[in-house]
């Protein structure tokens, strides 16, 4: 068992500079991936996670449990938070 540890320590001493540069390059790639992750994710198409076969089968772009409501005097409604939902409820009651 001691022979294996001696050989291993000798190999580490012999390849010390290679091990250092391998670690430095690995660290640089890691930092680059952390910095560039936002850019890389922005390259993914917007419909990448949508199951296109289900959309075509149900003939729907929004889903099968979605209901539409026609609003007068509104061109578009974007419901992002609870305030938008409450505003929409007020508009529907009028």
Domain extent for 59:
2-93
pLDDT at position 81 over 80: no
pLDDT band, very low/low/confident/very high, at 24 (cuts 50, 70, 90): very high
Section 40-68 average pLDDT: 68
The mean pLDDT value of the chain amounts to 78
DSSP structural state of residue 2: H
The confidence score (pLDDT) of residue 26 equals 97
The angle formed by the CA atoms of residues 49, 40 and 28, to the nearest 5 degrees, is 140
Query: Residues in the chain, how many?
Result: 94
Give the number of domains in the chain: 1
pLDDT band, very low/low/confident/very high, at 62 (cuts 50, 70, 90): low
The confidence score (pLDDT) of residue 60 equals 56
The dihedral sign for the CA sequence 40, 49, 79, 59: positive
């Amino acid at each position: 068992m001691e022979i294996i540890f001696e050989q291993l320590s000798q190999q580490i001493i012999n390849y010390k500079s290679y091990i250092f540069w391998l670690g430095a390059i690995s660290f640089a790639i890691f930092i680059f991936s952390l910095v560039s992750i936002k850019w890389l994710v922005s390259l993914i198409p917007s419909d990448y996670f949508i199951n296109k076969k289900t959309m075509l089968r149900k003939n729907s772009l929004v889903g099968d449990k979605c209901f539409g409501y026609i609003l007068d005097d509104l061109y578009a409604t974007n419901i992002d938070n609870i305030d938008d939902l409450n505003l929409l409820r007020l508009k529907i009651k009028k």
